[in-house]
Structure 1
Amino acid sequence: MQFRSITRIVGLLLALFSITMLAPALVAFIYRDGAGYPFVLTFFLLLAGGGLLWFPNRNYRHELKARDGFLIVVLFWTVIGSAGSVPLMLSEQPDLSVSEAFFESFSGLTTTGATVIVGLDELPKAILFYRQLLQWLGGMGIIVLAVAILPVLGIGGMQLYRAEIPGPVKDTKMTPRIAETAKVLWYIYLTLTVSCALAYWLAGMSAFDAIGHSFSTVAIGGFSTHDASIGHFDSTAVNLITVVFLLISACNFSLHFAAFANNGLNLKFYLRDPEFRAFLVIQLLLWLVVFAMLSGHQVYNSSTETFTQALFQSVSISTTAGYTTTTFAHWPLFLPVLLLFSSFIGGCAGSTGGGMKVIRILLLSLQGTRELKRLVHPRAVYTIKVGNKALRQQVVDAVWGFFSAYALVFVICMLALIATGIEELTAFSAVAATLNNLGPGLGEVAAHFGDINDTAKWVLILAMLFGRLEIFTLLVLFTPTFWRS
């Protein structure tokens, strides 16, 4: 294990992250809200901390192995998540405890969107902007950004990329060089962000709200600058724009690259992708069920409002964004529970969404179908195909392993919450909301997570990390084999 090389890289990444503190400091200066000092101080603290890690190890440039990459990714998210809490602890408004500041920081960086803050409308603009920025940086994974930059400093990137990019198959690159791949991902990400911000602004949002919500929409994060979330704007146009960009962001970004690679939009790349087709079918079925239930119970006065509320909430929750336009916990109980379970599926692999990813659910269903066929024809040989491509048994086994680990982590975290004194429904929904990087839950955490005890907050921070790093990246560090030379 190249510990000194790893320390050097983490120091560089921490110094790089310190630069992001200047953006909310600038916002504080523009709006004269007096909240800039914590960010300026944090900038110097993180820059100094990164320098102290980097300087003694600056000459160690050994080749990274795969397990070095896993350790760097986990260290990065824990170190940056911890560093992100510093300005929240230093700020007078909101007045957060250490546990609350860590929870808010990790929730933002992992794009979970669960908050412990009440009274967002009264907060300084700098704090609101910082929360949105954390989600935007975490959405694609700030390490992928670093992979595009750090090769210039002599740091290899493939190990980091393989550990960071979501999905069961991690060997596919859109361009031959890993740095070029990371740059393409960020070009697409930035283009979507700018387009989303412009659309929000044209729909009536202020420039500040448009930029802030574009950050969390494209990141599928769910943080808002208002307590009422997207419902604050009471606009059908804003709701539909949110739905469109959530669906786009929940798609595999390699599909976006392929569709626009030849200087024009080519929809055939989307339509030929089995995961994308399955994703659309899931979204359609989910909306139909929600619409039918809301209509049957006459929750809203008009069919138009029923249509938009059903569409918005089904897309927002199933893609793990967690935006709300209404208190969906007050709907017939079947619907909140259904939407909560839909977040376990989440977005497509290679997207900014959370959950287990559509491709894994698709493979699990294909594997289940194969086992049913084997019951009828025990001697027949069946292969699992995604599209026209037969998958190796190793990939199928990895999906089953992931599903088992996901369920195990879920159960352990839920039992840990119950042990802290939280009632069962709240514990179940809180773990589902954090492990799936969703945000809102049910029961005591339907509106915010500020009322749960500190021990539960730390358990949920761990659940956020497991969800963001897709279980194995973090879980592998707890195995004795990983640490053997």
Structure 2
Amino acid sequence: MNRKMIFRILGNIIMFEGAIMLLPFLVSLIYKEHTAIYFIITAAVAIAIGYILANLKTENRHIYAKEGFIIVALSWVVVSLVGALPFYISGEIPNYIDAFFETVSGFTTTGSTILNDIEALSRGMLFWRCFTHWIGGMGVLVFVLALIPKSEGQDMFLMKAEVPGPVVGKLVSKVHMTARILYGIYAFLTVIEIIFLLFGGMPLFDSIVHAFSTAGTGGYAIKNSSIAFYNSYYIDMVVTVFMLLFGINFNLYYLLLLKDFKQIFKSEELRWYILIIAVFTGIITVNTLGIYGNVSESFRYSIFQVASVITTTGFATTDFGMWPTLSQILLLLLMVVGACAGSTGGGMKISRIMILIKSAKCSIKKMVSPRSVTTIKIEGKPVDKQVLDFAYSYFVVYALIFFASVLLISFENLDIITTLTAPLTCLGNVGPGFGDLIGPVGNFSSLSSFSKIVLSFDMLAGRLELFPMILLFYSLKDCINVAREKVLKR
């Protein structure tokens, strides 16, 4: 393993994080807050450490798939450890484990929080908290690739390890150009949402941070009652539309720029995405009529929460924990399904669900007609065996991590709903769970530090498609074994 190259790239990532902390530093200065000093201290330390690591001398500058996965996993852990420092040293989140959990939740665009009073945070901290969503939405390394192009060989390994979905490819011949196109589209949609929110009467600061949270499909708000604070049908609909837009595969937006409408309409995943949203919204609208009294209000809250959960954003405009059981079960299903591959959303991804359903269908056909030739196709093209194997492996590993997390959290002796939905919402990067404790009007503050560490791992694993975090643990195990052998030889 090329350890020196791993540290060099980590150094660049840490320097990058130090540089972007200048934005919340400026926000703190604008609002004349004392928290500005904590951002500049953290930024200075991060840039200094990153500079030392980035300038390690190494003759071999090549990295391959294994190093790519490890770099991605380590990068996300390190940026979360560093990103938690302003919260901790300022005293606004006095417990470092809590600050780490909040930052992991930010970068992974989960939106689960330990804060009982969000509005007590300074503007600079609120900006940093939501900005982590925006950076993490498209990916920390994708952002760095857009700014600092490297050799093509290593770029693709990094991008494949970080961008969510079963298949990742280049939009153009150069990987760093692909990264720039993706972030260009991402930034453009964010600006458009800010403008629409301003038209709805939302203040500028609020519009910017909520657009960050929507774009990253993270769900951090700056009010204790989330988007419900604004009590505006217009704002609810704007946020709903943009949550759904950010849940679509960004490759389709590139095709839209090329005016390749034929390829867009051929997207089977997009059709499934629209169908699931329409069907689930319709059922929940009818099911919640008794709560809201009329179709308009019922549709307003139903479409918002369906969009929020399927895109794993996590915003709330109502306490869906009070909805009928059918509606809650449907939202629970959406937590697992998630958004489209190649979007900023989490979950298992619709494309994987499609593959698993079609695979099950083919298996049933095989049982009925053993001699029949069955092929799993997506958009009329046969699915590669490697993609199929990865989808099966992903599902199994997803289930294993979920059950292991449930068992670990069960030692805390919480109620069954909290114990089951806490790992599910964190692994799916959704945000709120179910029940009074961690539901849409609750938070994760009452959980133990051990449970928060377990759930932090779940959030990182869910955002990075599971395998980078698994490989990181294998690599750490190998390093420990090598170190132990050296000690024994002495």
Q: TM-score range by the shorter chain?
A: over 0.9
2:282 match: 288
Partner of 2:381: 389
Aligned to 2:416: 424
How far residue 99 of structure 1 moved from its aligned partner, in angstroms, is 1.0
Contact 2:310 2:337 in 1 (8 A): yes
> What is the distance in 1 between the residues matched to 2:312 and 2:96?
26
| Counterparts of 1:10 and 1:349, CA distance in 2 | 26
Over 3 Å counting, the alpha-carbon distance change for 1:60 and 1:225 in structure 2 is farther
Distance 1:301 1:461 in 2: 40
Partner of 1:9: 9
Give the Cα–Cα distance (whole angstroms) in 1 for the partners of residues 247 and 229 of structure 2: 24
Which residue of structure 2 aligns with residue 445 of structure 1? 438
Amino acid at match of 2:390: A
**Residue number in structure 2 paired with 1:30:** 30
C-alpha displacement of 1:136: 0.4
* Letter matched to residue 289 of structure 1: I
In 2: Cα distance, 1:20 partner to 1:480 partner: 30
Q: Please say if residues 68 and 161 of structure 2, whose CA atoms lie closer than 8 Å, have aligned partners that are also in contact.
A: yes
Please tell me the residue identity of whatever aligns with 2:112.
Answer: A
Q: Deviations over 1:207-262 (max 9, x none)?
A: 00000000010110000011111101101111111111111110000011011124
Equivalent residue for 1:456, pick from 441, 451, 455 = 451
Conserved? CA contact 1:201–1:207, under 8 Å = yes
Name the residue aligned to 1:46: 46
Task: Report the equivalent of 2:69.
Answer: 70
TM-score when normalising by structure 2: 0.94
Distance 1:153 1:29, change over 3 A: farther
Correspondences of 1:206-355 after superposition (within 5 Å): 206-262=203-259, 267-295=261-289, 298-355=290-347
CA shift at 1:54, angstroms?
Answer: 2.3
Q: Which runs of 5+ in 2 are unaligned?
A: 483-490
Q: CA contact under 8 A between 2:64 and 2:154: conserved in structure 1?
A: no
Q: Which ranges in structure 1 are unaligned for 5 or more consecutive residues? A: none
Shift in Å at residue 20 of structure 1? 1.2
User: Contact 1:8 / 1:60 at 8 angstroms: preserved in 2?
Assistant: no
User: Are the structure 2 counterparts of residues 153 and 36 from structure 1 closer, same or farther at C-alpha, using a change threshold of 3 Å?
Assistant: farther
Residue in structure 1 matched with residue 405 of structure 2 by the alignment: 413
Kindly tell me the number of residue pairs found equivalent between the two proteins: 477
Q: Tell me how far apart the structure 2 counterparts of residues 118 and 60 of structure 1 sit (CA, whole Å).
A: 50
Give the partner amino acid of 1:197.
I
Q: Give the Cα–Cα distance (whole angstroms) in 2 for the partners of residues 413 and 212 of structure 1.
A: 31
**What are the Cα deviations for residues 84-103 of structure 1, in whole angstroms up to 9, with x where unaligned?**
100010113x2430110000
Give the direction of change, closer, same or farther, for the CA distance of 1:480–1:86 in structure 2 (3 Å limit): closer
The alignment's C-alpha RMSD in Å is: 1.9
Aligned to 1:158: 156
1:71-90 alignment runs, 5 A limit: 71-90=70-89
Instruction: Please name the residue that 2:485 is paired with.
Output: none
Shift of residue 422, structure 1, vs aligned partner: 2.3
AA aligned to 2:39 is F
Q: Amino acid of the residue matched to residue 474 of structure 1?
A: M
Contact 1:4 1:60 in 2 (8 A): no
Q: How far 1:276 sits from its partner (Å)?
A: 0.4
Question: Which stretch has the larger CA shift, 429-438 or 43-52?
Answer: 43-52
Q: TM-score, normalised by structure 1?
A: 0.95
Kindly provide the CA deviation profile for residues 425-482 of structure 1, in whole angstroms up to 9, marking residues without a partner as x: 1011111110000000112111211111111101100000110111112223344799
